Amino acid sequence: MDYIYNGNAQGDVASRLMQADFNVGALRPYIGKDGRTKISINEGGETKVITTNASATLRRDDWILIDEAIVKAAKPRLQAVADLRTRGLEYTIPNGMGKTVLETNTQSDITPASVNMDGLTQGAADRPQFDITNLPLPILHKDFHFSARQIAASRNGGSPLDTTTAELAARRVAELAEEMLIGTHGEYKFGGGSIYGYKNFPDRLTKTITSPEASGWKPATTVQEVLAMKNQSQKAYHYGPYQLYCSPDWDMYMDDDYSENKGSNTLRQRLGDIGGIQSISTLDYLSDFDLILVQMTSDVAREVIGMDLTTVQWETQGGMQINFKVMAIMVPQLRSDHYGKTGIVHGSV
C-alpha cells in the first residue's frame, strides 16, 4: 500500500507524487511517437511535456480515449454541481492534492450609523467579528484495472480499449460529488470541519410542504408554498436569483397542466414565472417530494475544486496488472453569515 505520513512517502506511487509536488500528471505517463515515456504536467497554468525514465504502458491516444469516456459518463450525473460551476460559483485551489482543508471565515455586521444635528454625540464604535472554519478536502475516487495482456491485445489488434469500466467508475465519482452537494450522502468530518449539502446544512431554512398525493392538493398549493419559501429567504436577507430543485417524484406533477381551464402552462412553467426563480431542475438523488430553493450566489453556495475529474495509473503484479483510479477533489461549500442566515430553503413533506 502506498501512503504519505508526516510528509514522508511510503511506496512507489506516493514517492512519485511527492517528487512531482503532488502533480497528478506524474501518474499519467504515456508512450510518445518517438517511443519514449513522457508525462504532461501543469506549471503556472501551462501544460509542459517532460520526457521521463518512468515506465509507461498506454499511448497518448489511449489516455484520450479513457478521458473522453470519463467526462462523457460524468456529465449527466452532475446537475446540481454543474449549476454552480456554469454560473461561476466555484473556487479553484491550485495543487489541491497538497492540501487537506480550506480555511475560511464568517464576518459579522457592524451597528447602524447615528443621526444628529451636530455630529458631536458619541456614536457606537465597533468592528466586525470573525469566526474561522475549516472545510475538508477529501478525494473522491473509484478504481479499475486492465491486465497487461488486455492492453497488448488492444494494441496489436488495432481495436481501442473497452472503456466501459472506466465510464462506470467515473459515474460513481460523479454521483458521489452530486450526493454530497444535495446532502443525501451524509455529513463528512475532518480536521475540525464538516461538509454539508443542501438537505443537511445546519443553517438551512426549512418549510413543510404539501405532498401532491395528499387529498385536496392542487398545483396552486405548491405555488403558494414556493412563494412562502422565497419569502423565508428574503426575510433572511437573501433576495435571489434562485434555483428551484425538485425530486423525480415531482416530475409527473410538474409537467402536467397547471389548470383544467387553461392547459397552455405546466406547474413547472408557472413556478418559473415567480420573480427571481431562474429555472427549475429535477435532481436524480433528491428523494420523496422535497423541494430546495437556493440563492445562486457565492456567499450561499459554491463548489470547491481542488482537482477536476482525472485518471491516474500505476502498475502492480510485476507490471502484469495496470491499475487506474478515477479521482477528483470536488466538495460543496455552503455558507451562512455570522448570524447563521443563509439563502437555502429546504421544503419537505
Q: Write out the residue range of the structural domain in which residue 271 sits.
A: 205-301+340-348
Band of residue 55 on the pLDDT scale cut at 50, 70, 90: low
Q: How many domains does the chain contain in total? A: 2
Residue 21 lies in a domain: yes
- Range with the largest mean pLDDT of 18-32, 52-66, 263-277: 263-277
The pLDDT value given to residue 6:
47
Tens-place pLDDT, residues 239-252:
989 999 999 999 99
The pLDDT value given to residue 155:
65
The pLDDT value given to residue 307:
87
The pLDDT value given to residue 334:
94
Residue 271 lies in a domain: yes
Among 17, 41, 56, the domain-final residue is 56
The pLDDT value given to residue 132:
74
Residue 3 lies in a domain: no
CATH number, residue 271: 3.30.2320.10
Residue 25 pLDDT more than 70?
Answer: no
Residue 321 lies in a domain: no
Residue 272 lies in a domain: yes
Residue 124 lies in a domain: no
Residue 26 lies in a domain: yes
User: Average pLDDT over the chain, rounded to whole?
Assistant: 81
Residue 156 lies in a domain: no
Please answer whether residues 177 and 84 qualify as being in contact, where contact means their C-beta atoms are separated by less than 8 angstroms. Answer: no
Q: What is the largest CA-CA distance in the chain?
A: 91
Tens-place pLDDT, residues 100-157:
888 876 655 666 776 766 665 665 656 666 667 888 998 898 888 888 787 777 666 5
Tens-place pLDDT, residues 57-81:
677 777 777 777 777 777 667 789 9
Q: How much is the pTM? A: 0.78
